[in-house]
Amino acid sequence: PLNTPGCYITQQINAKELFSQTQFFMAIIAIICLVIVLAGFIMSLLLNKMVNTPIIKLQGRMAKIANGDFSRDLAIEWDNEFGEIGRGINKLSESINNLMNSRLEMEKQKRDYEYQVLQSQINPHFLYNTLMSIKWMAAMQNAPGIAEMATALSRLLKNISKGTKQFVPLSEELSLLMDYYTIMKYRYGGTISIDVKVDSEELLNCGILRFTLQPIVENAIFHGIEPKGSAGTITIHVFRNESGDLQIDITDDGVGMDEEMGRMLLSEKTGSESRFFRKIGISNVHNRIQLEFGDRYGLSIKSKIGSFTTVTIILPVRPCPEERQESP
């Protein structure tokens, strides 16, 4: 408005020009909206490629692992944060695969050691019946020594023929050992004696792997007492140690051995020359125990040349498990 009251300046504008400018601005707004929509679409595609697709591939990889495919998948090792997750999944699958292979190898070794024990068994039935006949013939001819040896050997064979059960009560393992000792006693003319001490009767119910004690006593006789050329004694002490484990110390007063020989006995298959059993060496016993119970358990050897050798067996205190027995 002007300073003069009632006076105004007006300008006439062409309606077409005004409408054309409005259309121009509307077109610009439409183009901007279209660009925004296109940018959003492109961003969604990029987001899908950068986030959704890797997640789907990672899910697929984990599904393959769940189905047993542990091979390395390089397609999920991108150069971003998802790639770090992918590399972690690949490392995890490789670790699982290595663990499974290690477990399978341990089971294979365990079966091999058990097979060696089974290989050591001589055919029991025919010999058992034959030995019983020898026993009665010896009794009729007043030969008690022969009868006792035949009885001990027949009990050994009968124990073997019970089946392939892996565990037996300690009392049964000691009984088997005493039958073996009876045979060795007559073989060496009574020059070898054995003394068994069990601190607690309840320990006799603990489960122990079959053929754990016999190979150690056999080694004590053949490589400890026999080489010294005189009488000898084997002492077996069964007790619960300070850690609460079952400990069995088997000591002979033989020629002893150096540390290197002790290591060899635990690491190599140095079986003995028993006439009744094939090679079930001390290393076999040690490895079977560790495969079954872990590295905390097993055998250790302490010896002094010309004086003694003590083989210590460490086992968990567990009752003998119930096992199905298969007839041989």
Condensed to tens digits (0 to 9), the pLDDT of residues 210-247 reads 889 999 999 999 889 999 989 999 999 999 999 999 99
Q: With 90 as the cut, is the pLDDT of residue 120 above it?
A: no
d(CA 113, CA 292): 11
Which candidate, 228, 320, 323, 309, places its Cα nearest to that of 266? Answer: 309
Give the position of tokens 């890797």: 54
Condensed to tens digits (0 to 9), the pLDDT of residues 17-39 reads 666 667 778 888 899 999 999 99
Q: Which pLDDT band holds residue 312 (cuts at 50, 70, 90)? A: very high
Mean pLDDT (whole number) for 70-78: 86
Q: With 80 as the cut, is the pLDDT of residue 83 above it?
A: yes
pLDDT of residue 271: 44
Structure token digits, residue 78: 């991108």
Report helix, strand or coil for 152: helix
Mean pLDDT (whole number) for 138-154: 73
Mean pLDDT (whole number) for 100-119: 73
d(CA 1, CA 234): 131
Mean pLDDT lowest among 103-112, 190-199, 237-246:
103-112
pLDDT of residue 283: 86
Q: Which of 54-58, 159-163, 229-233, 269-273 has the highest mean pLDDT?
A: 229-233
pLDDT of residue 164: 55
pLDDT of residue 189: 83
Structure token digits, residue 25: 């601005």
Length in residues, the chain: 328
Mean pLDDT (whole number) for 106-117: 71
Q: With 80 as the cut, is the pLDDT of residue 51 above it?
A: no
Within a 10 A sphere around the Cβ of 151, how many other Cβ atoms? Answer: 18
Residue 267 or 174, more confident: 174
pLDDT of residue 280: 54
pLDDT of residue 242: 94
Q: With 60 as the cut, is the pLDDT of residue 124 above it?
A: no
Condensed to tens digits (0 to 9), the pLDDT of residues 298-307 reads 999 999 999 9
Q: With 70 as the cut, is the pLDDT of residue 116 above it?
A: no
pLDDT of residue 279: 45
Q: b/e for 266-280, b at 16 or more Cβ within 10 A?
A: beeebbbebebbeeb
* pTM, full prediction: 0.59
Kindly state the percentage of the chain with pLDDT values over 70.
Answer: 78
Give the position of tokens 């140690």: 241
pLDDT of residue 328: 40
Domain ranges of the chain: 43-99, 189-319
CATH 3.30.565.10 fits 189-319, yes or no: yes
pLDDT of residue 252: 96
